[in-house]
Amino acid sequence: MGFDVRAITLDLDDTLWPFAPIGVRIEHALDDWMRVHCPATAAMFPVAAMRALREQMHARHPQLAHDMSALRRLTIEHALRESGADLALVDPAYEVFFAARNEVEFYPEARDALARISARVPVVALSNGNADLGRIGIRHHFAGSVSAQEHGAAKPDASIFLAACAHVGVAPAEVLHVGDHPEADVAGAARAGLRSCWINRRGADGRLAPWRHRSATPDLNFDTLSGLADWLEAATAAPGDDTRSTPA
C-alpha cells in the first residue's frame, strides 16, 4: 500500500508524553497551593475529593466535554464557593493547575522524532486536551494547532480533523493523523477521510496492545514516534530535496 503524506495532524497527550504523571502532578500542585492560600478549601476538598468533584463537573456539564479548561475552572470555583473561600482565587488557582499541566516529560524518543517529522511535512497539533505548545517549548515544530476547546468539538468528531486539514490547506486524503487512541484518533480520522497512524507504545510488561477496534484499522502503526519518523523519511523528500519516494 502506498500513499502520499503532505501534512500530519498530531495528538499530544499519550503520543508525545504520558498524561498519567501530569494528572498526578496537577492534583498535588493544586492541593499544595490550596493548603497555603485557602486552607478551608483544602480541608473540604483534599486530592481525592477534588478529583471526585471534577468528575461531577464533567457529568453535570456535558456541553463542555470539549473544553477541559472550562471544566477545570468550574471545579475550582465550586470548591472555593462550597468552602466559603474568596472567588477571586479562581484565576491564581487555575494558573497553578495550568503551570503543572504543562510540565511534561516527553517519551524518550519523541522530541527528536517530532523535529525529524516537522522537517519533512507541516505538522498541526490536534488535541482534546489543553496543553500549551509555547509553554512546553515546542511551538516551533508546528504549522498550527487546533484544540477541541477552540474548535468547539472534540475528537472523534469529523469536523475537528477537517478544521486541521483546512488550516494547512491540504486535502484530508493527503493528511496523516497520528495518535494513540483507537477511537478518538484512528477511527475518528478514518471517518473524516484522513489516513491514520496508531502509536501503540509497549506497556510496562514490554507487550504491545492488540488492535481491537471493530470498524477501523490504522494505515500505519508503530510502537514509537521514531518509527513514524523513519517511515516518513523514506516516504518523502525534505524541503529542498529533489527526490521523493513512496513506500509500497
pLDDT digits (tens, 9 = 90+) for 18-74: 999 999 999 999 999 999 999 999 999 999 999 999 999 999 999 999 999 999 999
Whether 68 and 130 have beta carbons less than 8 Å apart is answered as: yes
pLDDT of 134 > 70? The answer is: yes
Same domain assignment for residues 83 and 202: no
Q: What is the CATH number of the domain that holds 85?
A: 1.20.120.1600
pLDDT for 241: 55
pLDDT of 247 > 80? The answer is: no
Same domain assignment for residues 67 and 130: no
Same domain assignment for residues 204 and 141: yes
How much is the average pLDDT of 82-94? 97
> What is the C-alpha separation between 55 and 50, in angstroms, rounded?
9
Same domain assignment for residues 117 and 50: no
Same domain assignment for residues 175 and 215: yes
Report if residue 55 sits inside a domain: yes
pLDDT for 238: 55
pLDDT digits (tens, 9 = 90+) for 189-223: 999 999 999 999 999 999 999 999 989 999 999 99
